[in-house]
């Protein structure tokens, strides 16, 4: 069996730093879907989320020497993605504010049609209705499937704070989506 | 609706398979490799560095003949 399928993220990353390009591909394929789901949940734009997934891994590669071997890789990758998503939101706000660029935004989503599309739109609206900090924690937990400790590391808060934000965020989501059961 | 049902619903709504983004990333990495620069980092300004700079400036201001002072210590 290929060792890459069983290897930890940190081992794959170490192999990449040692010059094994296939290890980086394996690592990327492991992260692509959950990271894209999370960024989509934060930005509500699948195309933008895909761009940021690629950009996140470019940064991971560029700053590979900054990664401290005694820490976990997953929170580091999600922290990079978080910073990129914040910058993207800031640019989007500015673009909406500037009149000349207001018409630049085009719908670029590849959303499924029909009932699935409606459900997706409802869930996107429900996530968007959450306060930013609750939305981030809910997205990291529900879409990226990070542990509470990892979320605390990414957001720079305590596990207690993460639990609290998750509790209130999920309660609000249940209220908003209750009729979709 | 339970937490588990809510989680399943949110996940299902985002369960749109992405394109394979690896070719895009591989192209970006090739570009990175082609334009890789040696980045020079200025050493961090720690309190020791700051204290040394302050001491040097204060000395030059306080000493009546700074040039002579530096020459006496072999720094000029």
Q: Give tens-digit pLDDT for A106-135.
A: 444 555 556 677 888 888 899 999 999 999
Can you spell out the DSSP letters for A65-93?
GGS-TTS-HHHHHHHHHHHHHHHHHHHHH
Q: What is the pLDDT of residues A135-157, one digit of tens each?
A: 999 999 999 999 999 999 999 99
**Distance in Å, alpha carbon of B40 to nearest chain A alpha carbon:** 14
Contact A127 B10 (CB under 8 A): yes
First to last CA, chain B: 80
The candidate with the shortest Cα–Cα distance to A170, out of A140, A149, A156, is A140
Q: Please tell me which residue, A101 or B63, carries the higher pLDDT value.
A: B63
The Cα–Cα gap between B48 and A124 comes to 52
Contact in structure between A149 and A159 (CB atoms under 8 Å): yes
Contact A120 B16 (CB under 8 A): yes
The candidate with the shortest Cα–Cα distance to A144, out of A14, A13, A21, A53, is A53
Handedness of CA A36, A50, A39, B30 (dihedral sign): positive
The Cα–Cα gap between A153 and A147 comes to 10
pLDDT for residue A99 is more than 90:
no
Mean pLDDT of B28-55: 84
Contact residues on chain B for A33, CB-CB shorter than 8 A: 17-18
Total-model pTM: 0.76
Q: What is the pLDDT of residues A39-50, one digit of tens each?
A: 998 988 889 999
Contact A29 B5 (CB under 8 A): no
Mean pLDDT of B23-41: 84
For an interface test with A, the pick among B16, B28, B37 (most A C-beta atoms closer than 10 Å) comes out as B16
């Amino acid at each position: 069996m290929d060792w890459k399928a069983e290897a930890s993220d940190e081992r794959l990353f170490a192999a990449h730093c040692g010059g094994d390009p296939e290890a980086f591909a394996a690592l990327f394929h492991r992260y692509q879907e959950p990271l894209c789901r999370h960024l989509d949940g934060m930005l509500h734009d699948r195309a933008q989320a895909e761009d940021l997934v690629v950009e996140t891994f470019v940064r991971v590669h560029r700053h590979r020497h900054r990664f401290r071997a005694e820490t976990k890789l997953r929170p580091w990758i999600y922290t990079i993605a978080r910073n990129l998503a914040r910058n993207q939101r800031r640019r989007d706000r500015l673009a909406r504010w500037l009149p000349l660029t207001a018409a630049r935004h085009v719908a670029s989503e590849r959303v499924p049609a029909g009932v699935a599309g409606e459900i997706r739109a409802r869930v996107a609206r429900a996530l968007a209705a959450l306060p930013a900090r609750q939305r981030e924690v809910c997205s990291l937990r529900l879409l990226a499937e990070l542990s509470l400790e990892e979320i605390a590391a990414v957001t720079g808060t305590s596990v207690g704070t993460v639990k609290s934000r998750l509790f209130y965020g999920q309660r609000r989501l249940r209220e908003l989506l209750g009729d979709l059961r | 609706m339970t937490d588990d049902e809510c989680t399943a619903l949110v996940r299902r709504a985002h369960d749109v398979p992405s394109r394979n983004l690896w070719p895009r990333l591989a192209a970006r990495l090739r570009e990175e490799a082609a334009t890789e620069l040696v980045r020079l980092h200025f050493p961090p300004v720690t309190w020791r560095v700051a204290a040394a700079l302050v001491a040097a400036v204060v000395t030059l201001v306080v000493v009546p003949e700074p040039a002579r002072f530096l020459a006496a210590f072999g720094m000029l």
